[in-house]
A and B are shown apart, each in its own frame.
Chain A
Amino acid sequence: MIGRPGSAATTAAVAAAVAAAVVLALAAAPLVLAPYAVTVLTRILVFALLAMSLDLLVGITGLPSLGHGAYFGAGAYAAGWVTLHASPSGPVALLVALTAGGLVAAAAGCVAVRARGIFFLMLTLAIGEIVQQLAESWHEVTGGSNGLYGIPAARVGGAALVGDQAVHWWVLAVAATAAAGLWLLASSPFGHALRGIRDNEARMRALGYRVYGYKLAAFVVAGAVAGLAGGLLSAQQRLVTPAELGLGTSIPALLAVTIGGAGTLWGACVGAAVVVLVRDHLGASLGGHGSLLLGAVFVAVVYLLPGGAARALSMPRRRG
């Protein structure tokens, strides 16, 4: 079980090579696939980023959250509002989205992170529902139940992002960068500390780690990245509604993390692809029974693939 010297570096190199290959394939996709398939792929990328941010919280830090959609939605609304009313610049909107997600997460996290287990779960649920209700009620700013529609195309480097190809490349660039950042964070000492907290919080506290601070930091980072994903949604879908904030987003994200295997960030991407394809596409071709299929796939994965797709797909290697 204890690895050979140098195996960690080899594993990391292999992982980096695979990741680069995947990104290249995704970048080439719009040149090969039909427009609708590209739109679907873009949507998967946005959801994958959300799932990765949730995996940081659930899989790596061990804090299961049922309200992650709130930060996703906060970022989406912020980006949408800015693009509608202030500036059509794509990067500016994303920066605002990142900040919005992080701020809302910071406010929520101060309170939520003190709880543990099911109480943390329920508190994040309550916060998520409150934020969603806020979006529905505050219709002067958020547009109420109709949401922010008719968001103009984002402008990147002077050109407007119209058409499936341009949008896809923008989303891919941002998502890949953010994913790389998350991966670096997870591999850093900070990430190891989070895993320690997940595995044995009391011992970490005994070792002198300020557990509350670490958990809150993880919560804020996860919220900020979720907000960034929301900003990408706003640029891709050109529509933000309160449905983005509630359980309709939080639950599929949690399912994606579990299908993919909690704890490995790339597993969440696989899970996200599975969820979107099963629910929205297989389900649509079967006459609107997407949730039944998703439930069935989920049950099958939970029983047959413990550790999710990530464990099943990974090479035998030392744990950790």
Chain B
Amino acid sequence: MTTKRITRRRMLGAIGTAGALAALPACRKRSDDSGDATRSTGSGKRVKVGLVIPQSGVYAPLGTDMKRGWDLWLERHRGMLGPYQVTTVVADEGESPQTGVQAVQKLLQRDEVDVLVGIVSSAVALASQTPVKEARKVLVVANAGAGAITGASRTPYIWRTSFTNAQISSVMGQHLATAGAGGPVYLIAPDYAAGAEVLAGFRKTFTAGGGQIAGEAKPAFGKTQDYQPYLTGIRESGARAVFCFFSGAEAVSFVKQYSEFGLAGKLPLYASGFLTEGSVLDAQGDAAIGIQTTLHYSTELDRPANRELIAAYREKFSATPTVFTVQTWDAAAVLDRALGTATGLDGDSVAAALGTVGAIEDSPRGAWSFDGQSPKQNMYLRVVEKRGAAYVNAVVRDLGVFAQVS
């Protein structure tokens, strides 16, 4: 028994030494502040960008799309943002706000990036305000939709090239109020902050336009696989149409079950565009046909910038881009312009430069500009159609330009 314990102890000792050796890189000298200023004025200028995207967990497919959009933009622009050569450092946002904030802290403290881009989850984006403010670096949010990120209590360091949750749904509310929904509308979205914001946005413009709400349901977020109890509630409520917000696995389950339980032909389904965006549309299949959504992008938009992006993306990745790709693509475009006019790489200069960017004419989603720190952009009414063997979100109509809604 003594020999066994010595062997175990040796093993643990070896592990401990290996661990200590691995920790040696952490014993760098603490960097002093003057380092940042010298970097931007030297020749062969470089900028370090931290890309915060989910690489594991339920949001990983979105992270893949975002990274591809970022890489493709850089590839087509010789790897430069403004006059700077770009080094991208990727960090995993993970599934929980904790891992997301850790990723942001890692990029800011260890990798000492100049700019942060990305973030899918609103909770992570909201929590990132503190480290970003204290480090005085700019964060360009490429997805998270909470209104508060660029709302009344915003920080000048956080900009957004995506959308606000209420922006997308308020457009649908306005459209249904004017075009008529055929009767009262039932609202359903998962019980979390984004779901509440989406429904609030819809309800405000829909009821302002004279619409009636038949009822509302908030299934538990991430814990509901079977929607039958809610679908029977919808039928019972006397609604003539349904407005919903789901994404990812819940979007697939809900749409399929909506069809299986016989509501698809009888009650038209309207939604915020994420219900049918990306790989979920393939999983939904025929059950999704006829669903109308509003979103600030569709692969079917007939614009040269969009056609170019789709062709390049298909050639490189053998896949079709999604709204997440375009949002990150635009983040690169916006940073390119800002860094071209910024006086330095510190947060204050970049933030000031972002304020003077003006209209982005050549974006795949259509021309857009910043309203405050979030996009004011065209919203499209889309409907799911089958074209050949593929399902697409065909563009029915351009509903006009809409500012951010909190």
Stretch at the interface among B126-134, B251-259, B335-343: B126-134
- Residues A149 and B127 in contact in the complex (CB < 8 Å), given A36-B105, A243-B98, A288-B92: yes
Q: Verify B193–A144 contact, CB threshold 8 A.
A: yes
Q: What separation, in Å, do the CA atoms of A43 and B101 have in the docked complex? A: 12
Mostly helix, strand, loop or mixed at chain A's interface? helix
Task: Mark B144-161 against chain A: 1 for CB-CB distance below 8 A, else 0.
Answer: 001000000000000000
B389 CB–A CB distance under 8 Å: no
| 9 sampled A-B residue pairs with Cβ under 8 A | A34-B109, A146-B123, A147-B127, A243-B97, A284-B106, A304-B11, A305-B8, A309-B12, A312-B12
Known: A150-B129, A312-B12. 13 other contacts (CB 8 A): A34-B27, A37-B27, A136-B191, A139-B196, A145-B193, A146-B146, A149-B126, A239-B130, A241-B98, A287-B55, A288-B56, A288-B94, A304-B8
Q: Does A191 contact B (CB under 8 A)?
A: no
Contact of A146 with B8 at beta-carbon distance under 8 Å, contacts A35-B109, A238-B130, A287-B55 already known: no
Question: Does A136 lie within 8 Å of B109, measured CB to CB?
Answer: no
**Are B122 and A33 interface neighbours, CB within 8 A?**
no
Q: Does A89 contact B (CB under 8 A)?
A: no
Question: Which chain B positions have C-beta within 8 A of A137?
Answer: 191
Complex interface residues of chain B between 97 and 114 (CB less than 8 A to chain A): 97-99, 101-103, 105-106, 109-110
Point out the residues of chain A lying under 8 angstroms from B193, CB to CB.
139, 144-146
Interface size on A, residues (CB 8 A): 41
Which A residue sits closest to B221, measured CB to CB? A145
Q: A310 → chain B, closest Cβ, in Å?
A: 11
B-side binding surface: helix, strand, loop or mixed?
A: helix
- B91 in contact (CB, < 8 A): yes
Question: Which residue, B2, B56, B127, has most C-beta atoms of chain A within 10 A?
Answer: B127
- Across the interface, do A244 and B98 meet the contact criterion of CB distance under 8 Å? yes
Q: Which residues of A contact B123 (CB under 8 A)?
A: 145-147, 149, 241
In the assembled complex, the CB of A101 is this many whole angstroms from the nearest CB of chain B, namely: 18
Interface size class of B (residues with CB under 8 A): 35 or more
* B21 contacts chain A at the CB level, 8 A cutoff: no
Give bound CA distance, A33 to B23, whole Å. Answer: 9
Bound: A144/B106 CA distance, A = 26
Measured between beta carbons, the chain B residues less than 8 angstroms from A237 are 98, 101
A244 to B12, CA, bound (A): 31
State whether the Cβ of B76 lies closer than 8 Å to any Cβ in chain A: no
Question: What 1/0 flags go to A140-171 for Cβ under 8 Å of B?
Answer: 00001111011100000000001010000000
Instruction: List the 6 closest A-B pairs by CB distance, nearest first.
Output: A288-B56, A37-B26, A36-B110, A36-B109, A145-B192, A243-B96
A39, A150, A316: which has the most chain B beta carbons within 10 Å?
A150
Residue of A nearest to B126 (CB): A149
One of B56, B110, B146, B191 near A34 (C-beta < 8 A): B110
In the bound complex, how far is the Cα of B92 from the Cα of A289, in angstroms? 10
Residue A290 contacts which of B26, B30, B56 (CB distance < 8 angstroms)?
B56
B39: CB under 8 A from chain A?
no
Bound Cα distance A1, B109 (Å): 51
Closest to A33 in B: B26
Contact partner of B96 (CB less than 8 A), chosen from A238, A241, A309, is A241
Instruction: Encode contact with A along B178-213: 1 for CB under 8 Å, 0 otherwise.
Output: 000000000000011110100000000000000000
A35 cross-chain contacts in B, Cβ below 8 A: 30, 109-110
CA A305 to CA B15, docked complex, whole Å? 13
Find chain A residues with CB under 8 A from B106 CB.
36, 284
Tell me the minimal C-beta distance from A75 to chain B in angstroms.
16
Query: Distance (Å) between the CB of A296 and the closest chain B CB?
Result: 14
A-chain residues with CB within 8 Å of residue B146 when the two chains form the complex: 146
Q: Does A248 interact with chain B (Cβ within 8 Å)?
A: yes
A307, B109: Cα distance in complex, Å: 37
Q: Is the CB of A313 within 8 A of B27?
A: no
In the complex, A32 has a CB within 8 A of chain B = yes
Does chain A have a CB within 8 A of B78?
no
- Compute how far the CA of A312 lies from the CA of B16 in the bound complex, rounded to whole angstroms: 13
Q: Taking CB as reference atom, which chain B residue is nearest A238?
A: B130
A241→B97 contact, CB < 8 A: yes
Most-contacted residue by chain B among A136, A145, A312 (CB, 10 A): A145
Please indicate the chain A residues that have their CB under 8 angstroms from the CB of B103 in the complex: 284
- CB-based contact A280/B102 at 8 Å: yes
Complex interface residues of chain A between 256 and 305 (CB less than 8 A to chain B):
277, 280, 284, 287-290, 304-305
- Check if B266 is an interface residue, CB within 8 A of chain A: no
B109 and A164 contacting across the interface, CB-CB below 8 Å = yes
Tell which of A133, A244, A288 has the most Cβ of chain B within 10 Å: A288
CB-CB under 8 A from B110, the residues of chain A are: 34-37
Min Cβ gap A113→B in Å is 28
Question: Are A316 and B191 in touch, CB under 8 angstroms?
Answer: no
Residues of A within 8 A of B130 (CB): 149-151, 238-239
Question: What's the nearest-Cβ distance from chain A to residue B69, in Å?
Answer: 19
A287 to B92, CA, bound (A): 8
Minimum CB distance partner of A133 in chain B: B220
B274 to chain A minimum Cβ distance, whole angstroms, is: 16
